[in-house]
Structure 1
Amino acid sequence: MISSPPKLRDELEVIRGMDDMPLIFDPVTGNYHRITRASEVVLSYLDGTRTRDDLVACFSGARRASGARRADDDTLSRRIDTFLASLEKSGLLEGSDLPDKPGSGGRVRTSMLMPRIILTRSLPRVLEPVASVLRTVPASLLVLIASLGAIAGYTFGFHTLFTAMPALKDLSGPAFLIATGVMLLYVLVHESAHALVAQMLGTPIRGLGVALLFYFMPVAYVDRTDAYRVKGRGGRVVLAMAGIVSDGWFCALSGAVALNSGGLLKDTAAFLLSMQLFMLVINLNPLMPSDGYTALEAATGLTNARGRAFALLRHTARRQELPTHLANLSTGARRGYTTYGLFAVVYVCFLAYAMLHAVPVTADLALSVVGR
């Protein structure tokens, strides 16, 4: 229990993010902390002049004045204790330890199963000239043109790959290696698209880097932590989908090259098409914090949609009583979570089917690369 008068650190900034949700920004660690609107009211009392007991007495009196029962005071007391403890644990109170010490934000950061290496922090400066030009065009027009181009690109790419290209097992092995190298460049462009939208929205990315998924699989990424500052849902959806949209345009380019070339170049373009379309499937993954999942949360304003959806399906299938946070859902919300959960199940089945059928093709490609 916190006995001394709790006080927020002076340098903290309380801002409003998406859907007018209050956030605490810590400029020392660069972290954002989401709080409830009720908690935001408590923050204004944490000026170092009131003890924990003073806070409880103050809010208990206010509740009773509004007609609340005295029996609810214990619940209020526990909530205040929990809130103060979370602030202290996060290093937001004067005298509490910072979770991430200043100076720990170097180029290499580690997290569970995914160490990250920052390659550059200069991308915002490089992208600003382009962003300044694009800001002169109406945002709705830019989104419309980019989206229609991406949809056309993916449609053209799927049609080309499955109707005009030979089977992947009949393509040359060296083309696979070349396509893999080119695909790495496409991934950088994908991440740069996120960075460009962030720059246009006035929330520049913190860095461009490479993450090692499971410590061995390289994945490019941009640190767009400051996207929390984007209030509108539309801006956050566009920011999340920017990479997928840019991939659609390059998918069309790969399809055009594949249709108008031959030999090694044609085989390379065919491999690129298959990789780009596979990347689309991965980026729509409903089970991981993919671009599609991030866009879904931004569009709906929901958090932990995946966890709630599976909890709802699990309890429904087992005919168990729903926990309070699920039992109180509206009919529309429950249908939405159920639809999302069923989509996730179908996605997993499709991915398992595709991977099972890809094993023989992958083996043949590996053998052709080594000349066997």
Structure 2
Amino acid sequence: MISAPKLREDLELLTGMDDRPLVYDPVTGAYHRVTRAAQLVLTQLDGTRSREELIALLSDGGGRRDEVEDFLTRLEESGLLVGAERQDKDASGKRIRTSMFMPRIVLTRSLPVLLEPLARVLRRWNARALVAVAGLGALAGFSLGAFTVFTSPPSFERIGGAAFVVAALLQLVAVLVHESAHALVAQVLKVPVRGLGVALLFYFLPLAYVDRTDAYRLRGRGGRIVLALAGLMSDGWLTGVSAVVALTADGFVQHTAAFLLVFQLIGMVINLNPLLPSDGYSAIETATGLVDPRGRAFTLLGALIVPKPLPNYLANLALKARLAYLAYGLVCAAYVGVLALSMISTLPMLVQAVMAAAGR
């Protein structure tokens, strides 16, 4: 243990999301959330007092000695104190990062440079008007896309054909546009993304992503909500374009647009999934200020179904917060129900498509 704890001078103490105190570590690129009480403790870590002197001062002779001791230990383990072990290389600079379920590969870090000219122009416009136009256009696009698919579904006999393949390739381009939309909003808000890359869910399923960790610096919720939904809004506009093409074209172009619509609507459902760390989940978490809404909601609902003691952080929840978590749990249940009914209703078409593909 460090005898005279001193906070590293290269750390940045700032106030970020929802006015929460944050400590930014430029070595690892990580943000550490701290309480306001802990923020005051950090100001005392100048290396002039021994560990025992600090504990005595901050615990004020009361029963908080163990809390202060634990806080100092966690600071040391996180590498935030002078003399503590830390990474010699900026972790955010690595091209490949591994995790238990989702290794990530950074493809480019040049998006901020590429997007800044457009971001500079957009900053001159009224932000509320831009968001309103983008949001309403996305809703109209998704609505028109759903109407087109359900009234004029694609010919499933053509699965695996040229139109299907071209639509799949165009969907990959749409995914790139989706992630670039997140990056553009971040650039407009002056919290540039760190990179664009590919993540392999369970080391198998490729997913595009942009690293928008620095969104922690955005204090207001409005900007973070728009940042979370930017990809969906761009998807809505592209879906609207595909729907217009599918309704007005014919032949190969019409078949391609119809398949592309199916891909885009499936993408919408995935991005609104409240059970995964999706764009929709991020937006709800940001808008409500709830902490781990998925986990807490399921714990509360489970306790209602099978009565059991709740952990302290849930047992002492205010009634308003408890109802909010329960409402989120019901939204998740409704999402699963609607998704299940949709899959059941489309099952005959899927069987038809498989049989058609097998008979080719």
Question: TM bucket by the smaller chain?
Answer: over 0.9
Match of 1:122 in 2: 110
Match of 1:322 in 2: 310
Q: What amino acid sits opposite 1:146 in the alignment?
A: A
Match of 2:160 in 1: 173
Match of 1:17 in 2: 16
| Alignment partners' CA distance in 2, 1:189 and 1:129 | 17
Structure 2, unaligned runs of 5 or more: none
Choose 313-322 or 235-244, whichever is displaced more. 313-322
Offset at 1:358?
5.6
Residues 150, 245 of structure 1: 8 Å contact kept: yes
Is residue 59 from structure 1 mapped to residue 47 from structure 2 by the alignment?
no
Match of 2:319 in 1: 331
- Shift in alpha-carbon separation, 1:101–1:114, aligned structure 2, 3 A: farther
Identity %: 54
Residues 182-234 of structure 1: CA deviation (Å, up to 9, x unaligned): 10000000000000000000000111111111112111110101111111100
- Shift in alpha-carbon separation, 1:337–1:280, aligned structure 2, 3 A: same
RMSD of equivalent CA atoms: 2.0
TM superposition score normalised by structure 2: 0.93
| Alignment partners' CA distance in 2, 1:107 and 1:363 | 42
| Alignment partners' CA distance in 2, 1:30 and 1:256 | 44
Is residue 214 from structure 1 mapped to residue 202 from structure 2 by the alignment?
yes
- Shift in alpha-carbon separation, 1:35–1:371, aligned structure 2, 3 A: same
- Shift in alpha-carbon separation, 1:322–1:106, aligned structure 2, 3 A: closer
Structure 1, unaligned runs of 5 or more: 62-69
What's the secondary structure of 2:290's corresponding residue? Answer: coil
| Alignment partners' CA distance in 2, 1:28 and 1:176 | 46
What's the secondary structure of 1:33's corresponding residue? Answer: strand
| Alignment partners' CA distance in 1, 2:357 and 2:119 | 42
Offset at 1:324?
2.4
Offset at 1:302?
2.0
| Alignment partners' CA distance in 1, 2:9 and 2:348 | 61
Offset at 1:52?
2.5
What's the secondary structure of 1:173's corresponding residue? Answer: coil
Match of 2:31 in 1: 32
Match of 2:250 in 1: 262
- Shift in alpha-carbon separation, 1:301–1:263, aligned structure 2, 3 A: same
Offset at 1:29?
1.3
Pairs within 5 Å for 1:1-372: 2=1, 4-61=3-60, 73-74=62-63, 76-98=64-86, 100-102=87-89, 104=91, 105-163=93-151, 165-166=152-153, 168-174=155-161, 175-355=163-343, 361=349, 365=353, 372=360
What's the secondary structure of 2:309's corresponding residue? Answer: coil
| Alignment partners' CA distance in 2, 1:168 and 1:369 | 11
Q: What amino acid sits opposite 1:173 in the alignment?
A: G
Residues 28, 90 of structure 2: 8 Å contact kept: no
What's the secondary structure of 1:307's corresponding residue? Answer: helix
| Alignment partners' CA distance in 1, 2:78 and 2:346 | 46
Q: What amino acid sits opposite 1:92 in the alignment?
A: L
Q: What amino acid sits opposite 1:190 in the alignment?
A: H
Residues 29, 101 of structure 1: 8 Å contact kept: no
| Alignment partners' CA distance in 2, 1:178 and 1:3 | 61
Offset at 1:251?
0.6
Q: What amino acid sits opposite 1:43 in the alignment?
A: L
